[in-house]
Structure 1
Amino acid sequence: MNFTVLKELFAAFLRTHHFGRHFRRLALFESIAGATVSRELPPSLSQTLIAASASDVEALLASLNSRHCGLRDEEADAIREAVGANEVEHEKPLPWWAHLWHCYRNPFNLLLTLLALVSYLTDDMKATVVISSMVLLSTVMRFWQEVKSNKAADALKAMVSNTATVLRSRSETASQPDVPGRTELPIQLLVPGDVILLSAGDMIPADCRLLGAKDLFVSQAAMTGESLPVEKFAHQRDAHTFNPLELDNLVFMGTNVVSGSASAVVVATGPRSYFGALALRVGATDRAPTSFQSGVNKVSWLLIRFMFVMTPLVLFINGFTKGDWTEALLFALSVAVGLTPEMLPMIVTSTLAKGAVFLSRKKVIVKRLDAIQNFGAMDVLCTDKTGTLTQDKIVLARHVDAWGGEQDEVLELAYLNSYYQTGLKNLLDVAVLQHAEVHRELDPASNYRKVDEIPFDFTRRRMSVVVAERDDHHLLICKGAVEEVLAVCTQVRHGDAIEAMDAGLLARIRQVTAELNDEGLRVVAVAAKELPPAKDVYGLADEGELTLIGYVAFLDPPKDSTAPALKALAEHGVTVKVLTGDNERVTAKICSQVGLDSQGVMLGSDVERMTDAELAVEVERANVFARLTPAHKERIVRLLKANGHVVGFMGDGINDAPALRTADIGISVDSGVDIAKEAADIILLEKSLMVLEEGVLEGRRTFANMLKYIKMTASSNFGNVLSVLVASAFIPFLPMLPMHLLVQNLLYDISQIAIPFDNVDDDMLKSPQRWQPADIGRFMVFFGPISSIFDIGTYALMWFVFHANTPEQQTLFQSGWFVVGLLTQTLIVHMIRTPKLPFLQSRASTPLLVMGGIIMAVGIFLPMGPLAHYFKLQALPPLYFVFLPAILLAYMGLTQAMKGFYSRRFGWQ
């Protein structure tokens, strides 16, 4: 097999195997957005979508056997039975045989299979059996671990499900007409004909035709790559448009609502959707490699390059010195097998799966297994303020006029606004609507009629509703962020009088809001104006010349766990930065309450006017960023990553989704909006920052255990090859038969199966840990030759003391080195797992100790027991076992001394 083919196979392996199946929808979204596949749809799907767009609403509903009030439950069940669940084929698990094949087809197993084939063709059946056992062990262990982790992931996935608001038709009796009833259903249960309601933050769960829309903006970046949202309408404006993605009244699975609201009927689900059709074309393409995957890639290629250099040397030295090129080839191939970390996929999978299960007990759901390692590598955590640092239990603390005096009219207008809006309802609205006494006094259902609304978006940062109290006028009520509402106010209410807004009044108003902010209160402005009842549809242009009525102020106290959690993260080397859309005064107050010292505050306006180069410097200095838009958050995270940080982002709102996608590790909560949960890698079932510390520590434990395997394999293999080179050059026979190398390697691999369950020293958890392939290479060069020193000492012992210095005595020589080689390889597991003194200052886990003891016993038993002849070994003389402890103790002593020197010089990761 030539090097190019192997490299391509290995690259494909790393792309398509993330060491455990995980949530794939977001990865597939990104693949579709960046894929170079054709965007043309099957003609039948295009025709279906275009026909749905052009069809009259009544005719479309009739063709879907539906109605405006939605399907009945039994009708939906029957349709689902016929068309299947609303799932994309790509998301389904592989059948067992395909999964088994994927576990097998990596370069390491291919090399072993090649060697087994050569052994079989040369009638070396013993070697064939041993090598086949290695392949079987590696494949089955990985398959078993991935099946376990997949089942665990599926169980965790069931705990976090995105839902859709669906209208289902119901009637009290058969004689009464059907009436719509709202219900939240998992998106997998949707069927063609379902009528759904959409609002800001929702993932669109299927391909749908809009029935009604109000200021609806949809992000279609997953489908088209367009960064800006597009506005959608209930009717197609251009009759000459035939590209489904450009049709105004169609929305597609996998896109999300940025602002506005709508009702829609489901036209296509699952593989019959646009997204499903593209998924079939993109195939198994996944998102770009993470820092974790890139690290595994680099380390693996380091070992493979080393193998491709050393193996030919072994072949030529043995071929020229021994004259038997067939035997030399088999021996060289055995050395190549010894250099391949064939257990790496299994070790990584089981280590990550163990971490995911551990975190699930802490009510943390891991959507992507390799996100655990990024958790441990994270050195900067960017977090939203509301609901993250704070309790997310907002209470309405004050309702005042523009001068700070208590004013009931402000609360009444805010109540009407929150009561009638249908867009993105947040906790502020919930806090307002909890005032039942206002509801009783106003009786909005009887005394008011909703005319229209202008939904919230993150550019305007305000929203309005228009209500009619009497038929002679309409009342537009606007509430939102103070500066954004003031921007459309020309007057201010002062008692019963209306005063024109001027610079003096504006300064006084801002002073009042600043005082409220300094108390830690979040201030929302309320403004209004009366309009003649001349129209029933209102838009952004109507939000002008308003009268400021006053403010509603909310208290969102910090969580009790926030201060100790921030302190713990700081102690573990994680810098916390607050990125919020709220104003800087409230943010500063909350930060002071939780013990986060402000090292510099930046506003969204500052971010806006800076170049990337300027902002890259400032993001290192500042740790509080306020008045940010979603684009600002994403830009800050991107520049922190460009500066070399591993960045986590924690948020739960639609405005957090871009930053969640950009971060190395996105963290959201189960109560977050759909798009935030879909973009995140980690889902918290409870909003507690303390669990982040648990995640960071578990990530570091996971990384440390994976790194142990890499270090052990690299250094041990390097030392073995050096020993083989020396022996091949000076000894007139093979220092070890190919089968001996293979058995030794198989036993060594078995001894490492328990590494994922090993203990990790507390010192190893104090700072972020990252993949550093250059350090692995240096570590290999430092520690590999130590075993070679004692291997050469063993050669001298067998040659001069036991006189195993002729081809006739080679079995004795090979048996002596086999035992020393296996025992030192097994001991290196305990020596390198910690910078401390093993067994005394740092003790391995019981499974690893037991497994190591068993393998060492087997290693001694093979030449001393009845199977010795089968493995072409022989019993060692009693004197050998006098020297053996001395060799092992000297080996451990020198390794410990070298560990101290290495740690002082380079550190120990």
Structure 2
Amino acid sequence: MKEFWSYDSDYILKQLNTGKDGLSGKEAERRIDKYGQNIFEEKKSSSKLEMFINQFKNPIIMILIFAAVLSIFLKDYSDGIIILIIIMLSAFLSYSHESKANNAVKKLLSSVCVKSSVLRDGKFEEIDNAMLTVGDILNVKTGDMIPADCLLISENSLSMDESSLTGETFPVEKIPQKLSADTGLSNRKNSLWMGTHVISGSGKAVIVNLAKDSEFGKITASLNKKDSDTDFEKGIKDFGNLILHVTTLLIGLIFLFNIILNKPFLESFMFALALSVGLTPQMLPAIISVNLSQGAKRMSEQGVIVKKLNAIENFGSMTVMCSDKTGTITQGKVKLDSALDCNGEKSDNIGKLAAINSYFQEGYSNPIDQAILEANTNNFSEYKKLFEIPYSFEVKLLSVMVRTEPDFFGKNIMITKGALTSVLNVCKTYERADKTGGGIEKIKTQILDLFDKYSSQGYRVLGLAYKAIEDGTDIQKQKAEDMVFAGLLLFIDPLKEDIKDTVREMNRLGVSLKMITGDNRLIAKNIGSQTGLDPEKILLGEELDAYSLSQLNKKVLDIDIFAEISPNQKEEIIMAYKQAGEIVGYMGDGINDSPAIKQADVGVSVNTAADTAKDAASIVLLHNSLKVLISGINEGRRTFINTLKYIFVATSANFGNMFSMAGASLFLKFLPLLPKQILLTNLLTDFPSLQIASDSVDEDWLKNPVKWDINFIKKFMILFGIISSVFDYITFALLLFIFKAGEELFHTGWMLESIISAVVVMLIVRTARPVLASRPGDKLLIAVIGISAVLLMIIYSPINSYLGLIALPIKILLALLGVSFLYALTAEILKKNFYKHNSFSGKGRL
């Protein structure tokens, strides 16, 4: 039933065809057959084989598989096997992380597997939750978990903990009443929600919606949805499509021109296919995997567990970080901030009176009394409890009578705390901290003004009163009346200690923090203001529903605080930011946060969070300090940038070589390089490329979010590819016209120049700074030197004949090294001009 909280219980009982004596056993069975069991309907998940096959549905992977098959067909088994190993390792890594993520729903189901006390055939009995049905009457008491969404019929001081569902820290009182249909979830005081539990009192309620239709069930359904592609994954696919299109076009043209020039069909076909391997960035899956695994290892050392590796690079591109309030921005723990008299002055005596009340009350353990006792420094061991009037949601007061000798003039006293208006109603006089006082009516307005003032500042405000009880008085007949108003108790859920520094640092890094909370607007404004957010940029849950998705996409860009938000609205906010072009992170710790965590590009939770929140998250913080978020952002940018470095190097060098070979094949009587030489060239240049994963990153590139920009990659590939090709043609001219090179000398000379130029220029294009001002990582530098040495060993060793190479004369070697030096110098000059007008950082120029 929709909006059942907007009807009274008699109407609902009639609509459900049930009575206050409950259902009969036969009727319950009939309804279970009709509506199904009180369980979540799990969607059939993909088989392990299907999940594994899905890892290969990617343009890059498809090109690489084709390249591997081609290499094996060309009898270059080692290169083909290497490519296949890289593909399989990448697929297994992705598969293992995806399969682990599927446990989220199972954890969610197991968290509420309990029995309930149900009225059947006129008597209460314990029945498994799965066998409950619509119209069943439940009896709930302290500690009970609610098995379905219910409407309250009756209560006796019933108080619920709904923090896991709504994010509300304080207990929620429940009262049978009729509410407006648009009442927010956290304010539906006549409803009991699945997954919440009773912290005090008792009550009866009728089941209205079973598990699959409950608010809890809506969260489960959203967790069952397939993850949408993150920005990084979309970028990889776009890049794969770019390479696929360029490769297809150039290969087709090269093959066509070779046929037109009457070159052998099979030889031309094999050459064109070999070139496709040359353009494909074979090491991209390995680069991504190494980048992410190294980043995850570094983050684990800081107490951050990375569950979904691609979340690291999403951190790098993140522009908006949304966070729940309770337990993430705040400590999620009630604290007594101040005890004030009616003038707003602090008073130790009021704090002591409150501690006596909390120390001796025996109703139930609750966060408010715990907060009072934690702030207490007094010893009450010599005091004696005389009587207690338990807390009642009708009068909203709790009173204890205590013998306090030798304190308080040796008199017995009654101490009452509760809702401020209720306390004022039982007071006759007031007392200031200096013991002066008067009639309560004189200052009631002043006290209420203080209440409004502190409530608007985000405090939960209670009142405190007391009176002396003369010896010989019948304690059992005492009531909370004719009391002395002592003062106000101010409670707050404090900010986490490092949150302000974290927000400032995030702003410096170009990431905006947005607070999303189910709490009321006053508390949300106050916490947001303390955090550094603009309290005037606020949107309420009831207002959010008035916007269409296209309108909300624009509205959210000017909002800092979302208050009185329901769980489903959190997910809607995340989607709005994503559709507005933002890369969104979300951090939360409750069941109600799970859908938003799953929907975000970067889902973050903490070690103390609900299991479902941790399972839905990509990142889990083992330490409560939020400063590790900054480490995550920097680590994300470092890994993202190093991935892009490889793409810049590989696409520009490969595009240039391919363009050169395509042109050379038109005027040479032999192939510019043999297919096996193309593959060897590609393999040798890939080894140092693999070390880019551990390369250092310039600080300038860590200042702003980094986003995929296919246009930037195209510009980079074309500019540096053409420059590479220009020097290739200079090499052709040098070999053909100066040194009169034959086929083997040409192959050897160009292969050497191509590899040396590629690894040297790799050191240049890896940074936007002058090459000597940015030190490369040690592994990259060693790899560049090592591959250069290996290349010379191959050329000047007996194995050169097996590869169709010959030993180069020294003068030719020096001439080719000179060409490589000029190429590097030209690339350095062009790079400086290129980065003046282009940037891949997402914001600003480098």
- Please indicate, yes or no, whether the TM-score normalized by the shorter chain is above 0.5: yes
Q: Does 1:291 align with 2:222?
A: no
Structure-to-structure mapping, 1:627-638, within 5 angstroms: 627-630=564-567, 633-638=570-575
Task: Quote the residue 1:315 is aligned against.
Answer: 255
Q: Does 1:868 align with 2:800?
A: yes
Q: How much has 1:136 moved relative to structure 2?
A: 4.6
CA distance in 2 between partners of 1:203 and 1:549 (Å):
43
Task: Quote the residue 1:515 is aligned against.
Answer: 453
Task: Quote the residue 1:680 is aligned against.
Answer: 617
Q: How much has 1:653 moved relative to structure 2?
A: 3.5
Q: How much has 1:885 moved relative to structure 2?
A: 2.4
Q: Does 1:138 align with 2:66?
A: no
Task: Quote the residue 1:115 is aligned against.
Answer: 70
Task: Quote the residue 2:820 is aligned against.
Answer: 888
Which one of 280, 299, 320 corresponds to residue 340 of structure 1?
A: 280
Q: How much has 1:56 moved relative to structure 2?
A: 15
Q: Does 1:326 align with 2:266?
A: yes
Q: 1:683 to 1:421 in 2, by over 3 A?
A: farther
Between stretches 746-755 and 608-617, larger displacement belongs to 608-617
Task: Quote the residue 2:292 is aligned against.
Answer: 352
Deviation per residue, 1:113-149 (Å, 9 max, x gap): 4314543xxxxx4x3x2443433552466479779x9
Task: Quote the residue 1:830 is aligned against.
Answer: 763
Secondary structure (helix, strand or coil) at the match of 1:687 reads: coil
Q: How much has 1:197 moved relative to structure 2?
A: 7.2
Between stretches 380-389 and 136-145, larger displacement belongs to 136-145
Q: Does 1:717 align with 2:654?
A: yes
Q: How much has 1:384 moved relative to structure 2?
A: 3.6
Task: Quote the residue 2:585 is aligned against.
Answer: 648
Q: 1:257 to 1:135 in 2, by over 3 A?
A: closer
Secondary structure (helix, strand or coil) at the match of 1:686 reads: coil
Q: How much has 1:334 moved relative to structure 2?
A: 0.5
The answer to whether the 8 Å contact 2:458/2:527 transfers is no
Q: How much has 1:624 moved relative to structure 2?
A: 3.9
Task: Quote the residue 1:542 is aligned against.
Answer: none
CA distance in 2 between partners of 1:753 and 1:619 (Å):
41
Task: Quote the residue 1:901 is aligned against.
Answer: 833
Q: 1:357 to 1:446 in 2, by over 3 A?
A: farther
Q: Does 1:568 align with 2:505?
A: yes
CA distance in 2 between partners of 1:843 and 1:780 (Å):
23
Structure-to-structure mapping, 1:204-223, within 5 angstroms: none
Task: Quote the residue 1:304 is aligned against.
Answer: 244
Task: Quote the residue 1:382 is aligned against.
Answer: 322
Q: Percent identity?
A: 29
Structure-to-structure mapping, 1:487-566, within 5 angstroms: 493-496=425-428, 511-517=449-455, 522-524=459-461, 552-566=489-503
Secondary structure (helix, strand or coil) at the match of 1:870 reads: helix
The answer to whether the 8 Å contact 1:412/1:438 transfers is no
Between stretches 408-417 and 813-822, larger displacement belongs to 408-417
CA distance in 2 between partners of 1:51 and 1:828 (Å):
81
Q: 1:249 to 1:821 in 2, by over 3 A?
A: same
Task: Quote the residue 2:558 is aligned against.
Answer: 621
Q: 1:678 to 1:552 in 2, by over 3 A?
A: farther
CA distance in 1 between partners of 2:51 and 2:530 (Å):
54
CA distance in 2 between partners of 1:232 and 1:846 (Å):
58
Task: Quote the residue 1:752 is aligned against.
Answer: 689
Task: Quote the residue 1:45 is aligned against.
Answer: none
CA distance in 1 between partners of 2:498 and 2:248 (Å):
53
Corresponding residue pairs, total: 692
CA distance in 1 between partners of 2:536 and 2:622 (Å):
32
Amino acid at match of 2:336: L
Amino acid at match of 2:675: P
Q: Does 1:762 align with 2:717?
A: no
Secondary structure (helix, strand or coil) at the match of 1:868 reads: helix
* Structure 1: unaligned runs, 5 residues or longer: 1-49, 58-86, 120-124, 169-195, 205-212, 221-226, 235-245, 260-273, 455-462, 470-476, 480-484, 499-503, 529-547
The answer to whether the 8 Å contact 2:385/2:400 transfers is no
Q: How much has 1:300 moved relative to structure 2?
A: 1.1
Which one of 708, 719, 732 corresponds to residue 771 of structure 1?
A: 708
Q: 1:366 to 1:88 in 2, by over 3 A?
A: farther
CA distance in 2 between partners of 1:294 and 1:98 (Å):
19
Task: Quote the residue 2:809 is aligned against.
Answer: 877
Q: How much has 1:781 moved relative to structure 2?
A: 1.1
CA distance in 2 between partners of 1:286 and 1:131 (Å):
36
Amino acid at match of 2:832: G
Deviation per residue, 1:602-634 (Å, 9 max, x gap): 252783475346655553334344454445544
CA distance in 2 between partners of 1:99 and 1:135 (Å):
19
Q: 1:673 to 1:139 in 2, by over 3 A?
A: closer
Q: How much has 1:780 moved relative to structure 2?
A: 1.0
CA distance in 2 between partners of 1:866 and 1:254 (Å):
76
Q: 1:105 to 1:371 in 2, by over 3 A?
A: closer
Q: Does 1:607 align with 2:540?
A: no
Amino acid at match of 2:309: L
Q: How much has 1:666 moved relative to structure 2?
A: 2.4
Task: Quote the residue 1:814 is aligned against.
Answer: 747
Which one of 769, 773, 779 corresponds to residue 847 of structure 1?
A: 779
Q: 1:109 to 1:907 in 2, by over 3 A?
A: closer
Task: Quote the residue 2:788 is aligned against.
Answer: 856
Amino acid at match of 2:328: T
Task: Quote the residue 1:802 is aligned against.
Answer: 739
CA distance in 1 between partners of 2:790 and 2:330 (Å):
58
Task: Report which of the two structures shows the higher radius of gyration computed on alpha carbons.
Answer: 2
Amino acid at match of 1:894: T
CA distance in 2 between partners of 1:817 and 1:780 (Å):
21
Which one of 95, 106, 127 corresponds to residue 61 of structure 2?
A: 106
The answer to whether the 8 Å contact 1:353/1:369 transfers is yes
The answer to whether the 8 Å contact 2:519/2:563 transfers is yes
CA distance in 1 between partners of 2:397 and 2:591 (Å):
21
What's the RMSD between the two structures over aligned residues?
5.4
Q: 1:510 to 1:630 in 2, by over 3 A?
A: farther
Amino acid at match of 1:107: M
The answer to whether the 8 Å contact 1:604/1:632 transfers is no
Q: How much has 1:395 moved relative to structure 2?
A: 2.2
Between stretches 287-296 and 855-864, larger displacement belongs to 855-864
Task: Quote the residue 1:370 is aligned against.
Answer: 310
Secondary structure (helix, strand or coil) at the match of 2:768 reads: coil
State the TM-score, normalized to the length of structure 1.
Answer: 0.64
The answer to whether the 8 Å contact 1:744/1:818 transfers is yes
CA distance in 2 between partners of 1:214 and 1:376 (Å):
44
Amino acid at match of 2:287: I
Q: How much has 1:802 moved relative to structure 2?
A: 1.4
Q: 1:412 to 1:563 in 2, by over 3 A?
A: closer
State the TM-score, normalized to the length of structure 2.
Answer: 0.68
Which one of 782, 785, 788 corresponds to residue 722 of structure 2?
A: 785
CA distance in 2 between partners of 1:639 and 1:506 (Å):
46
Amino acid at match of 1:567: R
Q: How much has 1:799 moved relative to structure 2?
A: 0.3
Amino acid at match of 1:793: I
CA distance in 2 between partners of 1:417 and 1:631 (Å):
41
Task: Quote the residue 1:18 is aligned against.
Answer: none
CA distance in 1 between partners of 2:444 and 2:576 (Å):
36
